[in-house]
């Protein structure tokens, strides 16, 4: 799959049963990751979801919006890196 994706984002190797980790995500986090543009790992989604829920006072809609903003920042960072490589 190395040649299928052109990105400057760091690739990470999966360890463990990623489907089981996904199944253990909170329902709100699973809803968000299904619509995500990037291929987030379940571990990363769980960590970011917990951080967002703490910042948003337990409001799931606000936490999903925070994760959307995070993903936009990551995509923007990759776009900037791609332009620099040209």
Reported as a single tens digit per residue, the pLDDT across 25-67 is 999 999 999 999 998 999 999 999 999 999 999 999 999 999 9
In a domain, 23, yes or no: yes
Q: What CA–CA distance (Å, rounded) separates 25 from 81?
A: 31
Instruction: Give helix 27-34 / helix 42-55 axis angle, nearest 10°.
Output: 120
Distances (CA, A) of 16 to 1, 9, 19, 21, 61: 20, 22, 9, 8, 29
In a domain, 47, yes or no: yes
The pLDDT value given to residue 1: 46
Query: Hey, what are 53's tokens?
Result: 């829920």
Residue 3, pLDDT above cutoff 60: no
**Percent of residues, the chain, with pLDDT higher than 70:** 73
24: containing domain: 19-31+40-85
In a domain, 68, yes or no: yes
In a domain, 6, yes or no: no
Domain count within the chain: 1
Q: How many Cβ atoms are within 10 Å of 30's Cβ, its own excluded?
A: 15
């Amino acid at each position: 799959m190395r040649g299928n994706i052109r990105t400057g984002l760091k690739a990470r190797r999966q360890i463990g049963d990623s489907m089981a980790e996904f199944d253990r995500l909170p329902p709100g986090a699973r809803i968000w990751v299904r619509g995500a543009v990037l291929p987030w790992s379940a571990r990363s989604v769980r960590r970011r979801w917990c951080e967002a829920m703490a910042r948003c006072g337990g409001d799931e809609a606000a936490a999903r919006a925070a994760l959307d903003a995070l993903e936009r920042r990551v995509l923007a960072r990759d776009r900037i890196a791609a332009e620099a490589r040209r």
